[in-house]
Amino acid sequence: MLSSKEIEAVECFVLANGITYVDFKYEVLDHILTDVEERMVIGNLNFDTVFQDVQKVWEASFASTSSFWFGVLNANPKIVMQKCTKLINASMLKALLLGLTLFVGMYIVSPFFAIKSLLINNVLEVYSVICAISAVTFLYHFFYIKIKTSKTAYSYCYKRHFVCVPFYNFTMILIENAYKSSLHVPEWMTLLWLLFFIAIYCMSFAMFSKHKTYLKYHHLKIT
Amino acid sequence: MKSSKLYKGSLTTIILKLLSEYDKMYGYEITQKVKAITAGELQITEGALYPSLHKLEAEGFLEVEFVKVSNRTRKYYKLTEQGAKEADDKLEALKSYMETMKAFLYPKFGLE
């Protein structure tokens, strides 16, 4: 069994490599510690020699990586970035499908015709309402993430990706206001954009909920 | 993983198959079990394993349990009912794929 000083050295290595997200931290730490313990027993070697070898094994997984979705300047360990990229890809695909389904539904399902007209005739008001709601929820989510010191891949995705939702909506309000009279945008395009924003807002909410559930659920599970 | 392109799509099937045989497993245990079964031919990288485990967990195929082991926390993965069904389906699909590839690689030429 490793001493507390040796465990501390491994923990420092894990944290120094950016594995600060709770959905990875404990698992990676346990993985490395178990690996070190086994190698020490099998090879009858000391901690320092084994730990150096194990660090080399993790080099590739800890390599600083960036992604198109998060911007080239926002690098994270590869192992974390892989999960975040999968989460965002799935989220964006769902938003696209949700937006398209609502759009098609409003043109072919008669009970939705009234909603469609309501949205198109009051597009500016609808954008304003979404902008206000998303700004309030964003503030709540942002402070919730800030207060809770535990970070997850979900909170990273939320902070890097979905914080812009209120600003997107605000930009659309400005564009609608400035060009309403001069630009003749077809009504289907206005509706499609609006529905995509609604879908992306729903996905941002889902991402935050996953973060919240992860923290709550996993702390309860420790036995 | 060796020949990573060929094995890449089978990672979730490998995880589900192992968990259907062993009640609960943790990450390191999975990598070592795969290595032992395949005599070192197949080595799952940590960078691929954990995102896959988390994805399966998020999809409801795996449930987790945190256990205090020595002086640290260990995360165990276990198949859910839905996960057990998924494991069966994935294995069936893999068997069918292997049969097809076998037929393609070693064709039996008849008298027709």
Q: Which chain B residues are Cβ-neighbours of A26 within 8 angstroms?
A: 66, 72-73, 75
**Rounded Cα–Cα distance for residues A96 and A99 (Å):** 5
Q: What is the pLDDT of residues A156-207, one digit of tens each?
A: 998 887 777 677 767 777 776 666 656 666 778 778 888 888 888 888 889 9
Q: Where are the domains of chain A?
A: 4-62, 78-221
In order of their start, the domains of chain B are 4-105 (1.10.10.10)
Name residue B8's amino acid: K
Task: Flag whether residue B71 sits within 8 Å of chain A, measured between CB atoms.
Answer: yes
Q: What is the pLDDT of residues A7-37, one digit of tens each?
A: 999 999 999 999 999 889 989 999 999 999 9
**Rounded Cα–Cα distance for residues A1 and A101 (Å):** 56
Q: Do B47 and A82 touch (CB under 8 A)?
A: yes
pTM for this model (two decimals): 0.82
**Rounded Cα–Cα distance for residues A83 and B92 (Å):** 27
Tell me how many degrees the CA angle A64-B27-B4 measures, rounded to the nearest 5. 60
Query: Closest residue of A to B67, CA-based?
Result: A223
Which DSSP category does A159 fall into? I
How close does chain A come to B35, measured CA to CA in Å?
14
Task: Flag whether residue B4 sits within 8 Å of chain A, measured between CB atoms.
Answer: no
**Rounded Cα–Cα distance for residues A17 and A186 (Å):** 50
**Rounded Cα–Cα distance for residues B71 and A1 (Å):** 9
Q: Do B46 and A23 touch (CB under 8 A)?
A: no
Report the residue from B45, B58, B72 with minimal CB separation from A30.
B72
Tell me how many degrees the CA angle A52-A58-A63 measures, rounded to the nearest 5. 120
Report the residue from A7, A27, A33 with minimal CB separation from B50.
A27
- Weakest mean pLDDT among A10-14, A97-101, A127-131, B47-51: A127-131
* Tokens 């020949």 found at: B3
